[in-house]
Chains A and B, each alone.
Chain A
Amino acid sequence: MMLSPQTLKTPLIQFEGVAVDYGRGPDRVRALEPTSLAVSEGDFVALVGPSGCGKSTLLKLAAELLQPSAGFILFGGRELGAKPVRVGMAFQSSTLLPWMTIRDNVMLPLKIVPPFRQHYRAKRRGEYRDKVDALLAQVGLRDFADSYPWQLSGGMMQRANLCRALIHEPDLLLLDEPFGALDQFTREELWGTLQELWMATTTTVILVTHDLREAAYLANRICVMSPRPGRILEDRVVSFERPRTVEMTYEPDFVSTIQHLRSMIVHSPKESPK
């Protein structure tokens, strides 16, 4: 498959006219209208839009948990699935395993994902353990490595969850409303943590969120999706300086960006015709 010649740099992941239908026959429902989206390497893209518009669906496509019903997805210029893509994923519920310590939870991807898994037995008490502890220290969980998930607060669990999604140095970090269940203050703290992590690693991130302030704080680009079945209505670059702070979210520029996004979502056309 050829790329358009005007693309200067090959995007890391590229959705081309990708549509998704759930179900078969008469029960078939369209979850995602043909959508095109290109995310370049090291970018941070936020997907916002009304509930049910297909944001999670788009993430599942990127993680190869779902196959598109139409269109195609390229990764590094080649069809997605041609070679293994390292993906990190985190959801609103932390899904940490209750029988494992935080350290073992975070280490789980190293046991599963190649090439780490080949050396898991040899390195889990040495190199991997240090790697996990360093990452935990980075998010402020140094003293909780030996704790169990249920001994942590919701915010701490999400920190550990981010660590688990990042420990295997993924090419692509997919976050589906990771802070959705947290209170405002904890959430803002975690924005800072995620920004730091991302700036330190420059992993490519796609973040799904309902919180426009969160999107504008964290992302380089915000894609607004229309109501179900979704497609991308607007693709807006957010160029505030980094590292961003919570105070910046109250500045006029920032506020007007959010207001613009809000009006896009509120006034977006209902149910586009089939």
Chain B
Amino acid sequence: MMASIRRRAASISLIIGLFVFWEVAVMAFGISSLILPRPSEILSTLYARGPAIWPHAKQTLYTTLMGFSIGVMIGLSLGTLIGSSRLAYDTAYPLLVGISSIPKVAVVPIFVLWFGAGTVPAILTAMIICIFPIVVNVATGLATVEPELEDVMKSMKASKLDILWNVALPRAMPYFFASLKVSVTLAFVGSVVAETVASNRGVGNMMMIASASFNVPLVFAGLFVLATMGVSLYVIFSLIERRVVGWAMRKDGAV
């Protein structure tokens, strides 16, 4: 308990220290705010332009969460399909690795071509970028059930569905949640990139326009907004993970 508080205090003071260093260094070296604005400047911009930033933040959060939710559903079903059959696993895994190594932002122009600029490409980009970590993790979790456990289940004449439902899926949940944390941050990358390229709304678009007019503090304010949203979602999913699959992180539970 003491140790965890100390660790938390240390990481918070590191973050604050970084910002203080940033502030002091910019002042000391006289760096123009056109290149690197001070944190205090960014915060005051954030405050002053808050009402204007808010709709963009809402839009980005919406496209991200939309894409993420659809991605999770598709990823979970695809992962279940691939992971529950040896044949499907062996057949589809190489293809999956191949597709997942394509830089997903490269598909944005294609989506724009198909659906026009706006909300849809952002959602789709967020979706496609977060599918693969989920598929790979869920499939791996399902496919690596211990052979002895499988034998015990089969000796009870358990059907494939019985095994999937009672053993394989719960066992894959830690893998699934680990991939959710990664995916939700990736989904932000997807939606922001799509907004930057082809949208008239969203934080990505706002930053694009701000940088075109050399409003550098506003660009950084957008960055702050994104970081805050990304970290918040990561934390939320970490908390859910701790509640749902705490059994897989038994070290702190073993009292």
- Number of contact residues on B: which range applies? 20 to 34
Residues of A within 8 A of B157 (CB): 84, 112-113
- Contact, CB under 8 Å: A174 / B170: no
Interface size band for A: 20 to 34
Compute how far the CA of A93 lies from the CA of B146 in the bound complex, rounded to whole angstroms: 10
Report whether B155 and A95 are in contact in the complex, using a CB–CB cutoff of 8 Å: no
Determine whether the beta carbon of B250 is less than 8 Å from that of A95: no
The complex places the Cα of A91 from the Cα of B150 at a distance, in Å, of 11
Select B151's contact among A63, A98, A151, A168, beta carbons within 8 Å.
Answer: A63
Given contacts A97-B167, A112-B162, contact A148 B247 (CB under 8 A): yes
| Set of chain A residues within 8 Å of B158, measured between Cβ atoms | 112
Task: Mark each residue of chain B from 106 to 119: 1 if its CB lies under 8 Å from any CB of chain A, else 0.
Answer: 00000000000000
Q: Are B148 and A93 in contact (CB under 8 A)?
A: yes
A148–B152 alpha-carbon span in the complex (Å): 19
Known A-B contacts A87-B156, A99-B170, A108-B166; A60 and B151 likewise in contact (beta carbons under 8 Å): yes
Interface string of B130-159 (1 = CB under 8 A from A): 000000000000000010110111111110
Any chain B CB within 8 A of the CB of A22? no
CB-CB nearest in chain B for A87: B155
Q: Is the CB of A65 within 8 A of B155?
A: yes
Q: How far is the CA of A187 from the CA of B148 in the complex (A)?
A: 21
Q: Which of B152, B166, B245 has the most CB of A within 10 A?
A: B152
Are A150 and B156 in touch, CB under 8 angstroms? Answer: no
Q: Beyond the given A63-B155, A65-B151, A88-B155, could you list 10 further A-B residue pairs with CB under 8 A, ordered by the A residue number?
A: A89-B155, A97-B171, A98-B248, A99-B171, A99-B245, A99-B248, A109-B156, A111-B166, A112-B156, A112-B157
Q: From B246, which residue of chain A is reached at the shortest CB distance? A: A99
* Contact among B149, B156, B166, B254 with A151 in the assembled complex (CB-CB below 8 Å): B254
Can you give 30 contacting A-B residue pairs, CB < 8 Å? A63-B155, A65-B151, A65-B154, A65-B155, A87-B155, A88-B155, A89-B151, A89-B156, A90-B152, A91-B152, A93-B146, A95-B146, A95-B149, A95-B152, A97-B149, A97-B167, A98-B247, A98-B250, A99-B173, A112-B157, A112-B158, A112-B162, A113-B157, A148-B250, A150-B254, A151-B254, A164-B152, A165-B152, A168-B156, A174-B155
